[in-house]
Structure 1
């Protein structure tokens, strides 16, 4: 038997706000919410799909009280599917992201960014035709 990757948990101060940001970035929907937690995914599954374990991994935003002081050891990579990388970076800045410098250099073919709470992520080359 093996394990299955089911969700990526993200510690944050504002689960609702961060979930809303990532829903816009990824075109995800809220799957579940409870006190201090919001889970998002590519679709809202039926009970049958959950039981059959046919769900792709989700993102779970969990409220934590402490401030972040260490570098992220894990981050998301996103690839635009219907626009250029540059146009996607502009769209993400409009949603509240910022460009980040982690020492990638000016000749990299990806853009390092930070979400509204400072979590780093990369925008890779476009997948658009």
Structure 2
């Protein structure tokens, strides 16, 4: 028997704002918004890729994300972070898109010449933009 990753919960000063940012990043939709203090987002089951989503759900889980309001802001480097990869554009195009959504680049000591870019969401939570998975962008 095994378990599956069902959702990730993220403490947030402004859950709705952070949920909207991550909806833009991942193409997710808001499932539930309890007065802006708890916001859950996930894949849109009605999206054109619903069959693909169903296929993904038969394999590894496509987790949702939950944002919970807390009074204090983030004050140190994350112990866990997300790795995201573009699926329909090159890495530079996706980086520009994420920056326009409100991400910022950050230095956590990663050094120069890495194949990934370290970013932070609007509340400072670090995540990495990995190489593109778009057709023609990388080889196995």
Look up the SS of the partner of 1:56 in the other structure. coil
Residue number among 81, 89, 94 corresponding to 2:87 in the alignment: 81
Superposed CA RMSD? 1.8
Structure 2: runs of 5 or more not aligned: 47-56, 136-140
C-alpha offsets along residues 96-117 of structure 1, whole Å, 9 cap, x if unaligned? Answer: 1000111111110000000011
Partner of 2:16: 16
Instruction: State the TM-score, normalizing by the size of structure 2.
Output: 0.81
Instruction: State the TM-score, normalizing by the size of structure 1.
Output: 0.87
Q: Which consecutive aligned stretches of 4+ in structure 1 deviate over 6 angstroms post-superposition? A: none
Partner of 1:67: 73
Question: Given that residues 85 and 132 in structure 2 are in contact (C-alpha distance below 8 angstroms), is that contact kept between their aligned partners in structure 1?
Answer: yes
Question: Given that residues 74 and 125 in structure 2 are in contact (C-alpha distance below 8 angstroms), is that contact kept between their aligned partners in structure 1?
Answer: no
Look up the SS of the partner of 2:66 in the other structure. strand
Partner of 1:48: none
Aligned residues: 122
